[in-house]
Amino acid sequence: MDNQQPSSNPASSDLVIELQNIHKSYGGIDVLKGISLQARRGDVTALIGSSGSGKSTLLRCVNLLEIPQQGDIFFQGEQVRWSKKFGSRKPADKNQIRKMRTNLSMVFQQFNLWAHMSVLQNVIEAPVSVLKRDPAQAEELGRQLLEKVGIGDKCDQYPSQLSGGQQQRAAIARALAMEPAAMLFDEPTSALDPELEAEVVSVIKGLASEGRTMIIVTHDMKMAFDVADHVIFLHKGIIVEQGTPEQVFNNTQSQRLQQFLHATGTFGKAH
């Protein structure tokens, strides 16, 4: 058992998320090969790359939906503690992980709304049951958030009655209801047709303009250019190139990123 105590990250106090040398493999196949990244307060980080590059796996490591075999994770300056039993690495402190996940909201590709609950019930369930918020106050906030994402008139409808774009906006409202320190988006628009995708992109741009800390895995290069402060290009489990959107899209250094941007039709013109 590894009984290390949580330590304070010596890096700048404005770091919300930091990953150091993250390795993840499945059945001997290396998916992440020593990834390090930092997400600072108020910054939007976009993870781009082809399918199988490791970007969604990396995002899932941030809130420990996937457990890396090697590397360290810091959240708001606190280091995740690990233990080992029978050679398997696990978080050592369940309370620490519960607290961390409470402050990290994730928006999934497939919405993951509860079908038996109304849209408003979906939004207020976690604040009431997890954060122990007063139900009336949670409902008031829930209605405000649904208005914020443009579906305030859908409070009493069920997910099956909503379009895909409306469901994803409800999922974003649900994530916001937890008042998280950071938000994680895993391909939030890839299941939508272009018109509905534009609705969700508009909401995400609005959140970015508010200075929210976000990490976004996306196939939408224009959104990455318009929204992100920092863009990371992954290929075969490593970071090939990273920088500001201007640097990554318009001053590309690596041949592999040039090939990727050409394939997506955005080389030199993401803006």
User: What is the rounded average pLDDT of the residues 165-187?
Assistant: 96
The tokens for 207 are: 């959140």
At 182, the pLDDT band (50, 70, 90 cuts) reads very high
CA distances from 177 to 106, 155, 212 (A): 12, 14, 14
pLDDT digits (tens, 9 = 90+) for 120-131: 999 999 999 999
pLDDT digits (tens, 9 = 90+) for 143-163: 999 999 999 999 999 999 999
pLDDT digits (tens, 9 = 90+) for 223-271: 999 999 999 999 999 999 999 999 999 999 999 999 999 998 775 555 5
pLDDT value for 269: 53
| Single pTM value for the model | 0.90
Whether 116 shows a pLDDT value over 70: the answer reads yes
Question: What is the C-alpha radius of gyration for the chain, rounded to an integer number of angstroms?
Answer: 19
pLDDT value for 4: 43
CB 181 within 8 A of CB 211: no
Mean pLDDT for the chain overall = 91
In whole angstroms, give the CA distance from residue 258 to residue 236.
Answer: 15
Q: For residue 248, which of 210, 204, 218 has the smallest C-alpha distance? A: 218
- How large is the angle between the packed helices 135-148 and 119-129, nearest 10 degrees? 130
In sequence order, the β-bridge partners of residue 83 are 90
pLDDT digits (tens, 9 = 90+) for 81-93: 999 887 789 999 9
